[in-house]
Amino acid sequence: MDYPKCTIPSKDSRIVVQEKRSKFEVINTNRIKMNKVEVDGCLITDHREKCDWIISIDSLSRALFIELKGCDVDKAISQLKSTLIHTNSEYKNYQRECFAVTTRIPKHGSSVRRKSLDFFKATKTTLSIKNLRSQITV
């Protein structure tokens, strides 16, 4: 996997990735260097399941795995798990967080909480499932 080829470094105050109606945004208040890694179609080009983006913040040893999806939450979760496995050697010493941003999710009830808990038990990584937009501040 060619990380340098698929990485866009940025110190912008807003780092945005989006696909159709799904959008993920990092508010970079201190303008620290972040790396936006295009996973689907660049870092991983074969038939394996993979998420869309990884935003790594090397100075904080933090990696954000992002899947922008239509309405299939289970498929998004599967893609995030697969990407965690395939990139483990690169991000093994990072605090890893996963985000599934879908155009339609079930009401934030017990099923969504259960999926997040099961994901954490299986991967030791947090999972946030959001509808249409997700935003975090670093």
Q: What is the pTM of this model?
A: 0.94
The answer to whether residue 122 scores a pLDDT higher than 70 is yes
Reported confidence tier of residue 109, pLDDT bands at 50, 70, 90: low
Q: Which range marks the domain in which residue 47 is found?
A: 4-137
H/E stretch holding 130 reads strand 126-131
pLDDT at residue 100 tops 70: yes
Q: Binning pLDDT at 50, 70 and 90, where does residue 33 land? A: very high
CB 76 within 8 A of CB 53: no
Average pLDDT over every residue of 78-101: 97
Number of domains composing the chain: 1
Q: Which DSSP helix (H) or strand (E) runs through 10? A: strand 7-10
Q: Is the pLDDT of residue 4 over 80?
A: yes
- Mean pLDDT for 102-108 is 71
* Residue 29 three-state SS: coil
Dist CA 138 CA 134 (whole Å): 13
Complete edge-to-edge strand list for the sheet that includes strand 22-27: 14-19, 22-27, 133-137
106's CB contacts (< 8 A; 6+ apart) are 73, 112
